[in-house]
Amino acid sequence: MTYTIRRNAITWITIVLSLSLVLVLLASCSRQPSFPPPRQSGPDVIIEVNELQPENPKFYTYRYQGKSINFFVLKIQDKVLAFLDACVTCYPHKKGYRCEDGAVTCRYCNMNFSLYKLEKGLGGCYPIKIEGRIEDGNYLIPVATLKKAADKF
């Protein structure tokens, strides 16, 4: 009888450990984040500047040929800036950035960058800057620019 109880306990421990391993693997293989789509008009995506909160990046997902091209727009010091949710170094992992405490942090390597230094950042794990322009209270990003970035997603 002791042998049966021991065998059942080992079976249950094996099952629990196996399920725990599966949960850990699923969490580590999480998908690329998805965000609301930007509004589009003609050749541009349109971001309303008055909807941007200072020092708080707003993330978007533009869909192109089955890919989700993520980017964020940031209003800081009376400027509007846009960046891909990817960097030159870590983009193959498709994790992007999260924003916390006045900085963006790479979800893959955990490097963080002050929102105030993003505009001058270049290379490495800095978010890739994308060009846009302000017209009539909107920040316009050419769709062609986003399409060219599809290889990062």
**Tokens linked to 26:** 């699923």
Residue 62 DSSP symbol: E
- Indicate if 62 and 106 belong to the same structural domain: yes
Q: What pTM, to 2 d.p., does this model score?
A: 0.78
Are 16 and 79 in the same domain? Answer: no
Give the residue carrying structure tokens 């170094």: 89
Please state, for a pLDDT cut of 70, what percent of the chain lies above it: 80
Q: Residues 56-70, buried b or exposed e (16+ Cβ, 10 A)?
A: ebbbbbbeeeebbbb
Domain carrying residue 98: 39-152
CATH number reported for the structural domain that contains residue 93 in this entry: 2.102.10.10
Same-domain status, 26 and 45: no
Q: Do 16 and 43 share a structural domain?
A: no
pLDDT value at residue 97: 96
Question: Are residue 86 and residue 15 in the same domain, yes or no?
Answer: no
Q: What is the pLDDT of residues 68-100, one digit of tens each?
A: 999 999 999 889 999 999 999 999 999 999 999
Residue 4 banded pLDDT, cuts 50, 70, 90: low
22 and 82 co-located in one domain: no
Strand, coil or helix: what is 143? helix
Question: In whole angstroms, how far apart are CA 104 and each of 22, 91, 114, 136, 146?
Answer: 30, 15, 7, 28, 20
Which residues is 142 bridged to in the sheet? 44
Average pLDDT of the residues of the chain = 85
Count of domains observed in the chain: 2
Q: Which of 152, 149, 148, 146 is nearest to 62 (CA)?
A: 146
Q: Are 126 and 87 in contact (CB under 8 A)?
A: yes
How many CB atoms within 10 Å of residue 11? 10
Together in a domain, 84 and 113: yes
Confidence bin at 28 (pLDDT 50/70/90): very low
* Cα angle, residue 83 at apex, residues 82 and 84 outer, rounded to 5°: 140
19 and 86 fall within a common domain: no
